[in-house]
Amino acid sequence: MTLAIGPIDAVVLLASLATALAVGILAGGRAKSLDAYLLGDRSLPWWVVMGSIVATETSTATVLSVPGEGFGQVGMRFLQLPLGFMAGRLLIVRWLLPLYFEGRLNTAHEVLGRRFGPLVQRAASLLFLVTRNLGDGLRLFLAGIVIARLTGLPFTASVITMGCVTILYTVLGGIRSVAWNDCLQLVIYLLGGIAAVFIIAAQIPGGWEAAWQHAADTGRLTVFDFRFDLAEPFTFWAGLVGGAVLCIGTHGTDHMMVQRYLASGGLRQAGRALAGSGLAVVLQFALFLGIGVLLAAYHDLAGVPAPERADAVFASFVVNHFPRNVGLVGLLLAAILAAAMSTLSSSLNASASALVHDFLVRPAGREAARSGPQRPESMLLVSRGLTVAFGLVQIGVGLAAARLDETVIRAALAIAGVAAGLLLGVFSLGTMTRRVGTTAALVGGGCGLLTLLTVQFLLPVRGIVVAFPWYAMIGASTTFLAGLLASLVWRRPDQVSTLEIADA
């Protein structure tokens, strides 16, 4: 087996993996209880939580595919979407975040349990577990392809190495290891992106001035597009409205994010972390879009043929034009690994947390005698075991995806993305209405799921295309309206609207 990178680049890459393990070992010394392992004793600094939020929502697709959007005709219009993400975060701080700090919650789904009962709580948790592990297993597959192509390692070895290293440091340190490693990985991939900017600019004939003029002449510097077109994802309205609702779903109801808020020092710290992450994400997208804009100038002005696929342009430049064996290729590979592993580690810890608190630990068990299988030491061991189990599941999904057709993979990723809208719709039923009961909420969720599957898979066959930023709004609004209508039929005996959200 021959690596496609030099020894210095390999050292940089291996050093990043070793550092991740070291952080996991150091953080692991503090994870002596279930609360410490899954929620960091609820005492993580706000800026660590902020870094973890940003790194968690950044995957290999951000590092490699977003430059492809900047390279293509979308250009800086992509920034309309993260502007909507910022607006969504502010709404979460105002609306949903206070709910998670009323009482001593352990998962996002416990809010639904207090409002609708355990059936809805477990249904929401199951939806999270299935879609999260399916989606992140496929993201591991995509990251494995990239690592294999850039390093020369076999695909299977790339997937297993990423998965095993991530499992190890997540098991060792729990959420503290995950959060601190997220911050480290955030720094790594941002440094890799900044280094790429200067390397690309240095190879453009005419330098920065020529690159800027090329970007302006080709319209890639345009940010706002005020057309209203449901089929176009990068307009002001799709970005602001669709992006905001999508963010409320992904960051307001997804336990992988909510777990970070609960691990912070309190409501104010969580709000500061979430709001600050919005600005960080806008700047991060601007960086990687800028890489794509520079690559467009490089290929056009230098007369270098570009790959057919826009999302492959950055990886192609790294392989063919980055300085070899000076550590920069190793830094970019470490950045790609960091983006993949930050999402994977967060997914593993959040999945273990959801299964333990939503299915295994009964509410009464937290107040009853601490004996038997639910005593804290046993549940801590179970949580570590579940972290490993979910890691193996995602590795399995990643390896199995190599046998699937590309269209099947895209369909599976699309299905994995439906949870945000459905959960937001159910959360809206629970927090904005008092008449909707358990059955009506489940009916609403089922209607929302059918509607989203129709929009994503059946309408395009008939030539009707709806852009992805609108999916969360469609799912949430359908779930909410269907739940309201269903409540006219099912109001007893499952009506539990007299429960107060804040009750313990």
Number of domains comprising the chain: 2
Does residue 285 share a domain with residue 156? yes
The answer to whether position 411 is within a domain reads no
Per-residue H/E/C for 413-463: HHHHCCHHHHHHHHHHHHHHCCCCCHHHHHHHHHHHHHHHHHHHHHCHHHC
- Measured at the CA of 113, the angle between CA 108 and CA 35, to 5 degrees, comes to 50
The answer to whether position 499 is within a domain reads yes
The answer to whether position 437 is within a domain reads yes
Residues in the chain: 504
Predicted confidence at residue 368, as pLDDT, reads 41
The answer to whether position 55 is within a domain reads yes
Q: Which stretches of 203-266 are DSSP H helices?
A: 207-217, 236-237, 243-252, 255-262
Does residue 428 share a domain with residue 301? no
What is the distance between the terminal CA atoms of the chain, rounded to a whole angstrom?
58
Does residue 307 share a domain with residue 175? yes
Does residue 204 share a domain with residue 121? yes
The answer to whether position 205 is within a domain reads yes
d(CA 4, CA 467): 38
Q: Give Cα separations from 379 to 62, 244, 350 (angstroms).
A: 36, 37, 15
Predicted confidence at residue 443, as pLDDT, reads 94
- The angle that helices 255-262 and 267-302 make with each other, rounded to 10 degrees, is 130
Predicted confidence at residue 492, as pLDDT, reads 47
- Measured at the CA of 327, the angle between CA 183 and CA 23, to 5 degrees, comes to 30
Residue showing tokens 């020894």: 7
Torsion angles phi and psi, residue 28, rounded to 5? -65, -25
Q: Residue 468: in which H helix or E strand, if any? A: none
Residue showing tokens 């700047």: 283
The answer to whether position 103 is within a domain reads yes
Q: Which residues on adjacent β-strands are paired with residue 264?
A: 44
The answer to whether position 58 is within a domain reads yes
Does residue 108 share a domain with residue 156? yes
Does residue 137 share a domain with residue 24? yes
| Other CB atoms within 10 Å distance of the CB of residue 161 | 16
Predicted confidence at residue 260, as pLDDT, reads 94
Does residue 343 share a domain with residue 261? yes
Q: Give exposure, 469-490, as e/b (b: 16+ Cβ within 10 Å).
A: bbbbbbbbbbbbebbbebbeeb
Q: Supply the CATH number for residue 142's domain.
A: 1.20.1730.10
Does residue 462 share a domain with residue 392? no
The answer to whether position 64 is within a domain reads yes
d(CA 215, CA 200): 14
Does residue 480 share a domain with residue 399? no
Determine the number of helices (DSSP H) and then strands (DSSP E) in the chain.
21, 0
Does residue 323 share a domain with residue 389? yes
State the residue range of the domain holding 95.
7-363+374-404
Which residue type is seen at 472?
Answer: A
Q: Which residues on adjacent β-strands are paired with residue 44?
A: 264
Does residue 422 share a domain with residue 398? no
Query: In the structure encoding, which two tokens stand for residue 382, read together?
Result: 């179970």
Does residue 50 share a domain with residue 115? yes
pLDDT per residue as tens, the chain (504 positions): 445 677 888 888 888 888 888 887 787 666 778 888 899 889 999 999 999 999 998 887 788 889 999 999 899 999 999 999 999 999 999 999 998 998 778 889 999 998 899 999 999 999 999 999 998 998 898 888 888 887 888 999 999 999 999 999 899 889 999 999 999 999 999 999 999 999 999 999 999 999 999 999 999 999 999 999 988 989 999 999 999 999 999 999 999 999 999 999 899 999 999 999 999 999 999 999 999 999 999 999 999 998 888 888 998 898 888 888 788 888 888 888 888 888 899 999 999 999 999 998 865 444 443 444 456 668 889 999 999 999 999 999 999 988 877 666 666 667 767 888 999 999 999 988 888 999 999 999 999 999 999 998 889 888 888 888 899 999 999 999 999 999 988 764 444 443 343 333
